[in-house]
Chain A
Amino acid sequence: MSLYQIISGPMVWTSFLLFIAGTIFQIIKLYPFIKQSTTRLNAISYSSVNREKTTTANNKKIFTKKLFRHLPDFNSLIYKFAMLKYSLFGRYPLTIFVTTLFHLLLIFSPFMVLGHNILFESALGVSFPSLSSEFSTILTFIIILCCLYFLIRRLTVPLVKSITTSSDYIMLAIAAAPFLTGFMAHHQIFNYTVMLHLHILSGEIMLISIPFTKFIHMIYFIITRVVLMNNGLRIKELKI
């Protein structure tokens, strides 16, 4: 069995299995925390929110109407557009643009490369719509540029520098490696076989590291944003 056969055969399945098992394990691990915070929320909402709703809802409405009568309609599109500069996008337009682009491409572009789809077809009998070779090259190049932007930001901006640890650089390297090696293998910049081997290996390392390292924000992001952040917001509402 050659090296290529090992890393493109059993090792791929192992990494997929570890990724799925790790993801399930991490979600189960967080389950008591979710349950604890939602029960606490219920306890609060039954005691005071409902009472507040029934007794002071009308008064509050009249009060806010009187208080903000000189202000524009908060639900209007123009107002929302004007408020954009106070949003996260308005504050850090370039970073938000680069981050959004990077994360979308990081997740979706590997499924749209022709080479990957051929492997999917032969292994599972299912494939996704493929992009042309030139277009996927451009997308890969954009991802590498985004990674460079993050690296420069980490190295130069004092605010980011203050909380940067060595693990942040390792994470960035793990995220960039499959795209960089794939790009180099496709264009045969260095030795093709070496690059291909490195490409497969780095992809497997990235997949395994998702549930066990800081990449976990890929899974926990949904839970923290939907379950826990809403919880926090509702508690905030109570204080008003």
Chain B
Amino acid sequence: MTSNHSILFEQDEPSSEQKDLVEISKKVCVEEINAILKEKKHQIATALKVCAHCTLCADSCFLYRSKEKVAEHMPSHKFITSIGVIYKKKGKVTMEELYEMRETLWKRCVLCTRCSCPLGINIPELLAIGRRILRSQGVYHSYSEN
């Protein structure tokens, strides 16, 4: 840690990638994540149980329709790969995984709440819970500071 910091301070402006490298070396607080998971247990468990992996929610996402139609922009893919993974691992995720989820939760979703699931899963709520968990660990989308 100390060596990383000294490298950072020697340079004029640390790039965002270097910042991320320092952040990744931090440890995840499993208790904090589990406290949020416990509070929202019913929402997450029900959604993961009910989701039949039908992929009919894909076309309701404007990002999926406007960008190249890749699976990463599908609402169900977003919540299964973010909050679904955290829930299945019971909060025991690494910082690297959280940084990967940050891409999904901030860059691939704007929480416009327009996605609709034929089975009635409230996908935006799940993604919001995911954002909350990531924010509790200090992982969030930072806008350009320049």
Q: Is the C-beta of A188 less than 8 angstroms from some C-beta in chain B?
A: no
Within 8 A of B (CB), among A207-226: 214, 216-217, 220-221, 224-226
**CA A119 to CA B121, docked complex, whole Å:** 38
Is A88's CB under 8 angstroms from B118's CB? Answer: yes
Partner of B58, one of A36, A159, A239: A159
Within 8 A of A (CB), among B87-133: 113, 117-122, 124-125
| Tally of B interface residues using CB under 8 Å | 28
**CA A120 to CA B52, docked complex, whole Å:** 31
- By a CB distance below 8 angstroms, the chain B residues around A91 are 56, 59
Within 8 A of A (CB), among B10-52: 42-43, 46, 49-52
Q: Is the C-beta of B55 less than 8 angstroms from some C-beta in chain A?
A: yes
Q: Is the C-beta of A77 less than 8 angstroms from some C-beta in chain B?
A: no
Is B74's CB under 8 angstroms from A36's CB? Answer: no
Q: Is the C-beta of B1 less than 8 angstroms from some C-beta in chain A?
A: no
Is B113's CB under 8 angstroms from A228's CB? Answer: no
Q: Which of A33, A226, A236 has the most CB of B within 10 A?
A: A33
Query: Residue on B with the closest CB to A161?
Result: B71
Is A216's CB under 8 angstroms from B80's CB? Answer: no
Within 8 A of B (CB), among A184-240: 214, 216-217, 220-221, 224-226, 228-229, 231-232, 236, 239
Q: Is the C-beta of A92 less than 8 angstroms from some C-beta in chain B?
A: yes
- By a CB distance below 8 angstroms, the chain A residues around B49 are 214, 216-217, 220
| Tally of A interface residues using CB under 8 Å | 33
**CA A99 to CA B52, docked complex, whole Å:** 12
CB distance from B110 to the nearest CB of A (A): 13
B residues engaging A (CB < 8 A)? 42-43, 46, 49-56, 58-59, 69, 71, 74, 76-77, 80, 113, 117-122, 124-125
A residues engaging B (CB < 8 A)? 30, 32-33, 36, 88, 91-92, 95-96, 99, 157-160, 162-165, 168, 214, 216-217, 220-221, 224-226, 228-229, 231-232, 236, 239
> What 8 A-B pairs have minimum CB-CB distances, sorted nearest first?
A33-B42, A162-B71, A224-B120, A229-B120, A225-B120, A232-B122, A217-B50, A91-B59
